[in-house]
Amino acid sequence: MKPTGKELKTMQRMQPGVQTLSGFLGDDTRPLNEIIQDDAIVLDRLGRTQQEVAKRMESLTQASWDSYLEGTLVDGKYLVQTEVYRGRMPCPFGHPGIYRKAVTTLTNQGNGITVVWTSLSMHMIGAHGFFEGRGSAYRLEPETLIKALFD
């Protein structure tokens, strides 16, 4: 499907150097709606929603913020650490809100999967179903993320 005018503007904001040095799309050439749709198909196949995934990410991130500069073990299995940086980021979708610059690293000690996300990543997944484009620095493959968060 051809991108709408709004999607084209959003994709422009996602380009390298506009909001972030490396952008949000990586080397993915698919239109934004196709990126989101393809990831939604994976979520549906795995029986998870974007909101459920984002909520789990948020709860794990919050647990690590509460442990201030230390990794913390959640549920005896999820090693989580968040580094907070100075500044905030707006949503490239034009959604209201500004998100703190923070990077969370989670290692599922049960299956050995490690994933990394930002505060903005949690918002873009929960509100927009956007896991970033292939090749993006913070791209989260939905299947890998779900295994890390829920297995």
Structure-block tokens of residue 17? 């150097």
List Cβ<8 Å contacts ≥24 apart for 95-101. Answer: 95/123, 95/127, 95/128, 97/123, 99/123
Structural domain count of the chain: 1
Amino acid at position 51, single letter: Q
Do 36 and 25 touch, CB atoms closer than 8 A?
no
- Alpha-helical segments (H) within the chain: 5-13, 32-46, 50-65, 119-128, 142-150
- Rg of the Cα trace of the chain? 15
pLDDT digits (tens, 9 = 90+) for 81-106: 999 888 899 999 988 889 999 999 99
Segment 54-63 shows an average pLDDT of 95
Q: Who has greater pLDDT, 63 or 68?
A: 63
**Is 69's pLDDT higher than 70?**
no
Domain with 102, as residue range(s), is 5-150
Do 35 and 133 touch, CB atoms closer than 8 A?
yes
Do 7 and 34 touch, CB atoms closer than 8 A?
no
8 pLDDT band, cuts 50/70/90, is: confident
Percent of the chain surpassing pLDDT 70? 98
The region of weakest confidence among 10-14, 25-29, 129-133 is 10-14
